[in-house]
Structure 1
Amino acid sequence: LTNQPISKDQYGIILNIGKMLQSITTFPPDVSSEIENQEDEEMAIVADVHTDPNGSVVLEVAVGYPMNIFVAVPVDGELKITQGAIFSYYEFEQQMSNRLTDKEWQNMLKTNPPQLPIWIGSFVDMSMNPQPGESFNVESETSWRPTEINVFIEPKVIEVGTKIEIKANIQADLDSLPIVTLKQGDIMVKVEMKGDFGEYKALLDTNGMRSGMAHIKITGIRGEEEITYETDINIVRSNAVESTDSYNSQTGKDKKLKTRLYPVYPNPFNPDVWIPFDIENGGNVVIEIYNVFGQLVRTLDLGYKMPGHYVSTSKAGYWDGRNSHGEEVSSGLYFYRLKVGNYSALGKMIAMK
């Protein structure tokens, strides 16, 4: 909710809280039939926590049926709305002589539920509260299961021959360790990632690869579901000298050169990011940064550029992750547009604080 990545310990708590609650509230099969009843199958329960003998009333504290929570999170490089459930909470007075049982409370929720505490309106849309007789049934087959993968790639500038460190936070209970694949043309490196509790890492060797784009894919298996993350990276030569093998001395142009926009690197980024591109004809180069709402965040005027490759850190467009006021932007999805003459192309990137 605060755009901060959760820690390994926090993820472990989230991952196991359902199992822990189930173990606390579930009795062994040989005694469950003697202890449990129909009311225990529902989450709505009630308890009186204070008695006022002067007014002959008790303060009842209760949990009702679950409410929905919607959170925007980055999934595979795009912001998506995820849905989950949160406990509802009630406080109300009840006559001492009429203390509620769980069954009576569940019937009250379905016929004449009390008002939620007014302070809940500070973070809940009260207009979406269940009406009398309504309830939310969360079935095990359709309950929300997180499948988000957050990936961090180091170093930010990847040179030919160096090793790439891949860190992945996978919010899912996988059947086996995930696999990460680095592919460039006919060259492919496949490694099993190491780790647990949703935190995994791997080292990939770029020996034998050339400067240019390469593709990274991370795959995890949970039951019959395949969870994947894919992104492109840019590998540069250590001397940052662009190839001149296809240069035509008569025309002064690269025979194979076409104006194009490449994926940024690193992606996700924090806070620095490089925006590589090629230019077929010389011209003024402008890169515009937009947020997810389509609002212009920053304009990078790179001035006049000659035809050539602008992909290394010394030549590519550079953004320091700040807006036009010099303030660091928040985590989220951003778009970048390259404008050269009549050419315009759009890409997307993720800021991850």
Structure 2
Amino acid sequence: MEPVVTSTPEELRELRSAVRGFLEQHAPARAQLTQDATTWKRLTEELGLTALPVAEGSGGAGATFVELAVVLEETGRSLLRAPYLSTVVAALVLQGADDLLPSLADGSAPAALALAGSVRSSAGRLTGTLEQVVDAAEAALLVVAADDGLHVVPRDGEGVTVTPLTPLDGTRPQARVQLASAPARVVGDAAAAPHARDLLHVALACESAGAAERCIELAVEHLKVREQFGRPLGSFQALRHRVADLTVLLEGARSTAWYAARAAAGLSEDLPVVAPLALATCAEAFRTIAGESIQLHGGIGFTWEHDAHLYFKRAWTTALLHGEPRTLRHLAATRAGVLTGGDLA
């Protein structure tokens, strides 16, 4: 196996700067409450971000999950509505499907991941209902975990019904997917579905870390300009200590996410253990930081007009859709062999 080569720290900083500059100008958090096809078009055509995880021979950039982690942190900061996370994880999962990769790389066929639910496979057809599938309404391809492995189903194919839902998080569209003997293509065996979930967990961990960082930044910006008793709120020691505690929490979570990203890139064999652990750590930190950010903003943090509640809803949506931290830690402990039965205390 060839050694994994990642970008230099300077190259990663340049990538981060380019993505952040684009998203701050063209896709701020508040704008993610409505769909904007222009953002997706520019992400894929001008920046080529969907091509990152795809091999160069299939029209991609041949990057690793390390580079992808940088982009995912930045999309988390802006609560990007476009189906970027789902599409790039699908591209990683479908590395053996050479005919599908070019359309994933250029963004012409965005994907959705339907990895949780009960789907039966029989004679090349899938039957079952998948609730709350993120990005399903905007996807061209559905990556579905069934009882015998991983499958790909065209969203507009025979026997497929996609019904958009009204989600808690308005920046993350969801839909119900109903499969009624839908023709499907097998792309992985029974072991492929857990691996796909692991990659999804790492991607969500990176996204959550980026979003949590933005929550702290918003709170600090507010504390610097808001005054009470003739002094900026940021000058009060109690509030400064709260922000310091949140920063420590964030850095611990981010370190876990980055270790998991390196594992997903093939630089470690710990992916089955660190993937659920990274999401548990980052999702819990994000939820805590988002809630504290609202409190630090005072009354304005509770208003619909402020962005703080958007991050709070994203944090809770991530936990509700992809597993509570306790459940994920239980999975990590079981895989690590330190838990053989029962439950975590």
Normalised by the size of structure 2, how large is the TM-score?
0.23
TM-score, structure 1 as length reference: 0.23
| Greater relative contact order, per chain length (Cα 8 Å cut-off, separation 6+) | 2
Larger strand percent: 1
Tell me which structure has the larger Cα radius of gyration: 1
Structure (1/2) with the larger helix percentage: 2
